Copies of this chain bind each other. A is one copy, B any other.
Amino acid sequence: MDPKLRKEVLRKLHYGVYVATAKEGDEHAAALVTWVSQASLTPPLVMMALRKDSGIHALLRRTGRGVVHILAEGQKDLASDFFKPTRVEGDRLNGHPFRLEAGLPVLTEIPWYFQVEVREWAEGGDHAVAVAEVVAVGKNAEAEESLCLRTTGWSYGG
A residues with a Cβ closer than 8 A to B are 1-2, 5-6, 8-10, 12-16, 35-47, 49, 70, 112-114, 120, 122-127, 129, 131, 134-139, 145-146, 148-150, 156-158
Using Cβ atoms and an 8 Å threshold, which residues of chain B touch A131? 122-124, 129
Give Cα distance in the complex from A15 to B112, angstroms.
Answer: 17
- For residue A23, give the distance in angstroms from its CB to the closest CB of chain B: 21
Contact of A122 among B8, B15, B122, B156 (CB under 8 A): B122
Contact of A137 among B1, B46, B126 (CB under 8 A): B1
Using Cβ atoms and an 8 Å threshold, which residues of chain B touch A36? 13, 37
Q: Which of A16, A47, A70, A127 has the most CB of B within 10 A?
A: A47
Using Cβ atoms and an 8 Å threshold, which residues of chain B touch A146? 12-14
A-B contact pairs, 8 of them (CB 8 A): A1-B135, A6-B44, A10-B114, A37-B47, A41-B125, A41-B127, A120-B124, A129-B131
Cβ-defined contact, B70 with A13, below 8 A: yes
Cβ-defined contact, B139 with A8, below 8 A: yes
Cβ-defined contact, B9 with A129, below 8 A: no
Using Cβ atoms and an 8 Å threshold, which residues of chain B touch A16? 12-14
- For residue A75, give the distance in angstroms from its CB to the closest CB of chain B: 12
Using Cβ atoms and an 8 Å threshold, which residues of chain B touch A148? 14, 148, 150
Give Cα distance in the complex from A90 to B70, angstroms.
Answer: 45
